[in-house]
Amino acid sequence: MASLGERISERAVGAYTAGSISANARARRWQQFADTFPEIEQMTVLDVGGDARSWRLCSVRPAHVTLLNLFPQTVEEPWMTAIAGDACDLPDDLPQVDVVYSNSVIEHVGGHWRRERFAEGIRAAAPRYWVQTPYRYFPVEPHFLFPGLQYLPMRARAEAILRWPLGSGRHVADRADALERVMSIELLSQRELQAYFPDAEVRRERFGGIVKSLIAVRGAGA
């Protein structure tokens, strides 16, 4: 069974493949992020759940980025620092930053109580934040690229991805692994995201005219 670090790495592969739908969507999101915070080049960022590869390839270059993730990362760039930690229990010694960024993390942290802790930490860590998550009601489940997977009973989801060769389904080892993977993802509605971030503007990101993901933003243009 793959470790958590391996599963995170697997999930990220498509996002860094040039020309892929995921990579193109991420590029558009980076541009939205830069437009939302036009002085980002002078700002410091805490990326909660972040991966150094994403920042190396993006068109946005803040003054400094602190990456917080469960697994250790090696970074050589002087404008990035990586630390290991729990997104739902932020370390007390985190540096002060201008903006918190988080991309497709809150749906993985594990249950309502942990999502509350995740949101509370982000809201307290900086005056501005940008938190993106896939939208529950987009027709295709984004991790496994399986139509309507999120609407099936848990056992049916696990059985489906065992036979599905796309997305994270390519790396499923057995039924136990499949069940663990589908149980680890809880997609959110707009109302739920707004409840976790009541002081945010919740934006809708569309694909083909349909809402694909949600972004909670505080401090836009400030």
pLDDT at position 27, please?
80
C-alpha dihedral over 97, 103, 104, 109, to 10 degrees? -10
CA–CA distance, 120 with 77 (Å, rounded to integer): 30
Distance CA(220)–CA(127), nearest Å, equals 10
* pLDDT for the residue 165: 84
- Within the chain, all domains assigned CATH 3.40.50.150 are found at 4-140+187-218
pTM here is 0.87
Which fold, 4-140+187-218?
Answer: Rossmann fold (3.40.50)
Residue ranges of the chain whose pLDDT lies below 50? 1-14
Q: What are phi and psi of 181, to 5 degrees?
A: -65, -45
Predicted pLDDT at 20: 56
Residue 4 is predicted with a pLDDT of 43
Element (H, E) at 212: strand 210-218
